[in-house]
């Protein structure tokens, strides 16, 4: 079936149509690609998320805001929250939005297949500008992390004189091109944000060295850990039936998708995985394949034929948490997984040249191996043979305690209501 065509010739992918109906079911007030003007008589806190990790890390804030919004008495309703889903990852998003019980109040449609970063920025700028024009009552805009849509949402908020709160502020590598383009995005957001919600003491120190005013930095811990702990308390039924067959078996969990890994680095990582899987035949190497076609081509091309490598679709969050908890070893180029693994006390081989989560290295769960296959094989073997064991610096992970969203919302409400 051809995807529907919206007025103006804009082609909409089927996944977006599913999201459209999901939001419309939710009673969405702005379930069109170009929102219409609305008058907001109350102060409105805007929350933006567009990718899988943003949803995971913003969900606890959206839920906390909505719970407090509901607790306002009918006579004293002074503010409201509005969650806008930008759609940067719309294919992956719906199960995550549902799982975390965070139906968007509105959504944009910033993705178009094959578009360049510049085109994404330009499309997002046009839609976010229109979005802000409709919201004269906006009193704060929360963006998370370092994605292109987080940066564009922050810039649009700045254009419309809406103060910006940056969730997960202060993460840095020493190289502006790694991760690409996220390192640039987060540095730029720091320049225009009013409130910087730093997840760790190290992130706070980074912001101070960049001359960010100390009173605008709030040490909150990481909201991703709020989600991890929340998910750990929910009942679990695997969405991917294959997982049930792996219970009790040796498991190595692998993810690799970063833009800077695509090409030769990813091929080197793949060759190391094949060697490891052949040597450790009693272990299953589970690898959820990222939707990026360039990543999928390399991974499926190089790894599909090894018996104990299980390639899956991207896992839904509860399945992924299940796999992290059972994994003996995690191999990844992801950022958020390094934080989650530290909380779960799992060893992680980080297949990147740099990490902005150096706390996990100091803590003793992350090991930076780059894309050198020999280094990856040596370190993985050490863990899989039991030769190397984790030696943690303390019992408590540096990333979070499950109360980050509460701290952010406390701070935000104190400021906008004062």
The footprint of ligand UDP (CB under 6 A) covers 52-53, 56, 224, 255, 288, 314-315, 317, 320, 334-337, 340
The answer to whether 246 touches 284, Cβ cutoff 8 Å, is yes
- Distance in Å, CB of 220 to ligand UDP, minimum: 17
Identity of the residue, 20 or 320, whose beta carbon is nearer to ligand UDP in the bound complex: 320
Identity of the residue, 335 or 398, whose beta carbon is nearer to ligand UDP in the bound complex: 335
- Distance in Å, CB of 22 to ligand UDP, minimum: 18
Burial label, 67 (beta-carbon count in 10 A; 0-12, 13-18, 19+): exposed
Identity of the residue, 250 or 325, whose beta carbon is nearer to ligand UDP in the bound complex: 325
- Distance in Å, CB of 333 to ligand UDP, minimum: 7
Identity of the residue, 22 or 317, whose beta carbon is nearer to ligand UDP in the bound complex: 317
27 in the Ramachandran plot: left (φ > 0), alpha (ψ -120 to 50) or beta? left
Pairing of strands 10-11, 5-6: antiparallel
- Distance in Å, CB of 97 to ligand UDP, minimum: 13
Identity of the residue, 53 or 402, whose beta carbon is nearer to ligand UDP in the bound complex: 53
- Distance in Å, CB of 2 to ligand UDP, minimum: 29
How many other C-beta atoms lie within 10 A of the C-beta of residue 415? 15
What CA–CA distance (Å, rounded) separates 63 from 309? Answer: 37
Q: Cα 373 to chain center, whole Å? A: 27
- Distance in Å, CB of 76 to ligand UDP, minimum: 37
- Distance in Å, CB of 345 to ligand UDP, minimum: 16
Q: What Å distances lie between residue 294 and 2, 88, 115, 298, 389, CA to CA?
A: 24, 17, 14, 7, 35
Identity of the residue, 330 or 379, whose beta carbon is nearer to ligand UDP in the bound complex: 330
Q: Annotated active-site positions, please?
A: 146, 168, 182, 257, 259, 290
Identity of the residue, 317 or 399, whose beta carbon is nearer to ligand UDP in the bound complex: 317
């Amino acid at each position: 079936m051809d995807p529907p065509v919206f007025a103006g010739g804009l082609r909409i992918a089927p996944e977006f149509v599913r999201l459209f109906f999901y939001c419309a079911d939710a009673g969405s007030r702005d379930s069109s690609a170009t929102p219409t003007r609305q008058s907001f008589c109350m102060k409105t806190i805007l929350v933006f998320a567009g990718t899988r990790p943003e949803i995971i890390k913003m969900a606890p804030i959206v839920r906390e805001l909505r719970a407090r919004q509901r607790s306002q008495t009918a006579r004293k309703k002074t503010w409201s929250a509005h969650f806008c889903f930008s759609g940067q990852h719309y294919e992956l998003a719906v199960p995550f939005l549902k799982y975390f019980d965070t139906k968007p109040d509105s959504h944009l449609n910033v993705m178009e297949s094959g578009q360049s970063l510049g085109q994404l920025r330009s499309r997002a700028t046009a839609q976010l500008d229109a979005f802000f024009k409709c919201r004269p009552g906006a009193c704060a805009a929360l963006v998370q992390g370092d994605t292109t849509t987080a940066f564009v949402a922050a810039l649009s908020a700045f254009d419309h004189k809406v103060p910006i709160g940056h969730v997960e502020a202060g993460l840095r590598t020493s190289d502006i091109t790694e991760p690409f383009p996220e390192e640039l995005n987060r540095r730029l957001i720091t320049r225009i944000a009013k409130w910087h919600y730093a997840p760790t003491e190290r992130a706070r120190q980074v912001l101070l060295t960049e001359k960010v005013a100390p009173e605008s930095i709030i040490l909150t811990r990481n909201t991703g850990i709020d989600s991890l702990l929340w998910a750990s308390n929910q009942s679990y039924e695997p969405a991917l039936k294959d997982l049930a067959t792996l219970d009790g078996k040796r498991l190595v969990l692998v993810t690799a998708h970063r833009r800077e890994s695509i090409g030769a680095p990813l091929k080197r990582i793949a060759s190391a995985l094949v060697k490891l899987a052949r040597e450790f035949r009693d272990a299953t190497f589970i690898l959820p394949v990222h939707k990026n076609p360039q990543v999928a081509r390399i991974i499926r091309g190089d790894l599909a034929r090894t018996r104990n490598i299980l390639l899956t679709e991207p896992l839904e969050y509860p399945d992924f948490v299940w796999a992290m908890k059972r994994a003996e070893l995690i191999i990844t180029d992801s950022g958020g997984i390094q934080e989650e693994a530290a909380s779960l006390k799992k060893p992680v081989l980080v297949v990147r040249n740099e990490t902005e989560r150096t706390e996990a290295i100091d803590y003793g769960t992350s090991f930076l191996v780059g894309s050198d296959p020999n280094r990856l094989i040596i370190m993985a073997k050490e863990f899989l043979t039991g030769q190397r064991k984790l030696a943690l610096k303390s019992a408590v992970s540096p990333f979070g305690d499950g109360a980050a969203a509460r701290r952010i919302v406390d701070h935000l409400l104190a400021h906008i209501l004062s």
